[in-house]
Amino acid sequence: MKIAAVGEAFPAHYYSQERLLEEFKRVWSRQLFNQDRLEVLHKNVLVGGRYLALPIEEYSKLESWGEANDAWIRVAQQVGEQAVRKALDLAGLEPVDVDCLIFVSVTGVATPSIDARLMNRLGLAPRVKRLPIFGLGCVAGAAGISRAADYVKAYPDQVAVLLSVELCSLTLQLRDFSIPNLISSGLFGDGAAAVVVVGSERRAAGPRILATRSIFYPDTERVMGWDISERGFQVVLSAEVPEVVRQYLRRDVDEFLRDQGLSRKEISSWVAHPGGPKVLIAMQEALELQPEALQMTWESLEKVGNPSSTSVLMVLQETMKSRCPEPGALGMLLAMGPGFCSELVLLEW
């Protein structure tokens, strides 16, 4: 099983963090009186800029969740198509070669799902097995790779494509002045990424998937997620996330590697989800990593923020493109998300 290629795509609208902060101050000028706190929270997430699904001035005009979700459906198809086409081109494949399409997102809903709406746009074969997954949040990029690996392990002559589209800006609650929502307004961004995973009977130049593991932490449902009402998605983001990382991640990674006859010292590259500065610092401490080990993740956070499940796939794409490890080197791809849970993927480059 190999990752043959990763393609990414973004909406056309990119704004610096300074410009975004200016807009939040303007929109919230009559309701949020402690704007200095908002500025501190935005600066602390260490994000330099983000892509948005819509032009910045259109967000204050969205009057309902329905309007925001309609925009999600429209833009998700646009960037989703771009990401899949780019990934297939890089893999030297055509849309008719795809056997399974897995779609993950946690920022909008649609029936028919986005994968179904892309069938005609992409020219996929009618035989394609579609698997839309909602609710995994930030962990879904890594979990989607694991499920794609499960598929091609069963069908070694076939091609699976994972598509992640997250348009976090369309979930923004302009009437919510809680600390989690204010942090989210400075952290989360928009984007899409597609990963081509092929079975062992197909040739590909990318990293091999050696093993995967899912870990669920009991009684952690309120660590991260959404509260959903007529206003849409309201973020649940506990300050406990870094402590959950410190408590569980080293144990889980060590047990996973031990079962493969390996240890952490044999892992030469780390592809991690950029959950935010405090989460990344907790990861570095828990796994006893040197600062440069997560450099690609820190750079992704600075450039585009945290586009939820798409984030770890963007880090993977940049690793494969510009800093690919030596052939035969071992790597770990990992993410954590609502549940609360972890997903671990062992790679051989």
3-state percent breakdown (helix, strand, coil) of the chain, nearest 5: 45, 25, 30
- What is the bridge-based pairing of β-strands 100-105 and 129-134? parallel
Q: Catalytic site residue 138?
A: yes
- For the beta carbon of residue 278, count every other beta carbon within 10 angstroms: 15
d(Cα 255, Cα 205) in Å, to the nearest integer? 29
Find the length of the chain.
Answer: 349
Cis bond leading into 103, ω under 30°?
no
Beta-sheet strand order (sheet of 190-198): 129-134, 100-105, 159-167, 190-198, 2-9, 208-216, 341-348, 330-337, 267-272
For 13, counting Cβ atoms within 10 Å of its Cβ (0-12 exposed, 13-18 middle, 19+ buried), the class is: middle
For 67, counting Cβ atoms within 10 Å of its Cβ (0-12 exposed, 13-18 middle, 19+ buried), the class is: middle
Residue tagged active-site, from 138, 168, 324, 341: 138
d(Cα 136, Cα 122) in Å, to the nearest integer? 25
Single out the residue of 160, 307, 100, 47 nearest to residue 335, CA to CA.
Answer: 307
The residue whose two tokens read 């935005």 is 42
Q: Are 103 and 66 in contact (CB under 8 A)?
A: no
Catalytic residues: 138
